[in-house]
Amino acid sequence: MIPLSEIIKAKKKINGIVNKTPFAFAPLLTERVGAKVYLKKENLQITGAYKIRGAYNKIASLSKEEKQRGVIAASAGNHAQGVAYSAALFKTPATIIMPEATPLLKVVGTKALGAKVILKGSNYDEAYEFATTYAQENSLTFIHPFKDRQIMAGQGTVALEMYDERDDLNMVLVPIGGGGLISGVASAIKQLDPKIKIIGITSKGAPAMYESFKEKKPLSTNGVRTIADGIAVRDASKENLDIILECVDDIIQVDDEEIANAVLFLLERQKIVVEGAGAVGVAALMHDKIKLKPTDNIGVILSGGNIDVGMLSVIIEKGQIKAHRKMKLLITLIDKPGALRGLTDIFEELSANIIQVDYDRISTTLSYGDANVTIALETKGKEHQESIREELKKRGYRFHEEF
């Protein structure tokens, strides 16, 4: 594991540069899961994620010549911004290689910090392969996002802040992609109090570290596909796995739907914006992945908040459908004056708000004299939707649901 002395040294180094983010009690989540939950809000960090901690600690350790030549990193976004921000503080040129599918928010954010951005590869690992070659060809120092002990020490400062505020935790939930964050956090926690359980959370769409942990050897996967782009890592590294096997009690998985539910819950109920990777710990709690006791005090690291606006809108839309707050009906009417008004009167009587209407009277699939109306409604839950269906059936309408 990373020596506690190295993590403490990193904490002193980043002091005054990195925000000490809130570690706050979450009453609504506590009520929902039946144990006390505290959220470490790294989504409120300077660059929107914890990655700046390790990046600054690493770049600060470079020689004057290395800083002058410049640094390079491969990243889906958060490490990129951490490296770019830190390099700018040292007036060090920074080049960032990002996967081609990286959300625009992260690309723009990285460029705004003064870094040169090159989009290459379909995932992190392909970007990484290009970056290592580019680094050699241009004599740049490669800043690895997780397979570097100074990076891990910097990330471990998250745990020191949590422990400083609450030394009564008995469980800490940590997102896992490549394993840099959990390597640092678990190293710190296990040296401060070995009784505290460290649970890593991965996405089912990026299972490399989960499978490696179970098999106790580093494994690679054919590819990754998850909304949690910050932890979409294809291959497990031996360096991080060795520390994880030493310090981490268990690793569990959550799927994209569970992650999306957690993102929406945090946005709507906790009033905080968290990206998919940052929400996996909350997803695990919300979907009963971990056995809890009422006496448990659980620290959950919200690792980042740099979510793409387009992705967030999709999550909100799907979340509303899942929560029975939206429904879309295709209804067949007799095409005559007043037919649509009669239908909308029903929705008014049932207090269902119409948010979209599409009227089709020319489709070749329609019988002569019929029209199809597609109506999207805002509804008030499962019972409300059922009452709408029953009323339409009672009035003799033919319909089916689009979602």
Report yes or no: 295 and 339 within 8 Å, Cβ to Cβ.
no
For residues 133 and 111, is the Cβ–Cβ distance under 8 A? no
CA distance linking residue 171 with residue 321, whole number of Å = 33
- R_g of the chain computed on alpha carbons: 25
CA distance 182 to 261: 23
Write the DSSP symbol of residue 329.
E
Cα separation, 364 vs 338, in Å, equals 23
Give me the catalytic one of 187, 212, 237, 303.
Answer: 303
Residue 287 has a CB neighbour count (10 Å cut-off) of 16
Whose CA is closest to 201, among 229, 231, 245?
231
Structure tokens given for 376: 């999207």
Q: Is 20 a catalytic residue?
A: no
Provide the 3-class DSSP secondary structure of residue 18.
Answer: strand
Handedness of CA 252, 256, 257, 259 (dihedral sign): positive
**Do 302 and 42 meet the contact criterion of CB atoms below 8 Å apart?**
yes
Is 183 considered catalytic here? no
- The catalytic position among 40, 51, 106, 326 is 51
Q: Measured between alpha carbons, how far is residue 105 from residues 51, 88, 247, 275, 394 in Å?
A: 16, 19, 34, 12, 49
Catalytic annotation, residues: 51, 303
